[in-house]
Amino acid sequence: PSHNARSNTSDNILEATHDQVLNLLGNERYYSDLESPEAKKILVEIRKIEGFKRLALNALSRSENLASGNPFSDAVIDVAGNWKNDVQFVTKLIPLLHSSNRDLRLGAAGALKGTTSPIAVSKLLEMLKSSNPLDRYIAAVALERTTVPAARSALINLRRDSDPGVRAQAIVGTD
């Protein structure tokens, strides 16, 4: 990828569609050069988008996994536009972190972002130990902005992960 491609993406990030955001999140080439200011700016800007949770919900709502009785068949955002973070909702979200649908996993991780729920944090810390980089990445997304000391410490350690996408998320998640 050229330097210009990264800059153009960074300049236009707030106009990105939900598909473009999800593609950027999953595109390793944007994580390959973590020392590049442009690469880091893209990572930070994606997660600053106020509508990211809604974008994740959009991806979730288009998923074929949203049959009746699915945790997302009930309203998942409150009247203020925020994700519910109660125990019942968190408990229903956790299994979705292991879905075969990548967008569903990312949406569930986005919904849990910043969680302090002991149940969720415990499961996410287990996922950080997985040999699968996508599992570690998903857990790092969910633990971003958490104030739980053990989770923050685990994210800081993840900055040395073997996978560039996981390292990038750990950096963004602890900035």
Spell out the per-residue pLDDT of the chain, length 175, in tens: 333 333 343 344 444 455 555 555 554 444 444 445 554 454 445 444 445 544 544 444 444 444 444 444 343 444 334 444 566 667 777 888 888 877 778 877 877 888 888 889 999 999 999 999 999 999 999 998 888 999 999 999 999 999 999 999 999 888 7
Domain boundaries, the chain: 3-174
The answer to whether 109 touches 102, Cβ cutoff 8 Å, is no
What is the distance between the terminal CA atoms of the chain, rounded to a whole angstrom?
A: 26
What sign does the dihedral 77-70-145-159 (CA atoms) show?
Answer: negative
The answer to whether 44 touches 13, Cβ cutoff 8 Å, is no
Locus of tokens 């893209």: 42
CATH architecture of 3-174: Alpha Horseshoe (1.25)
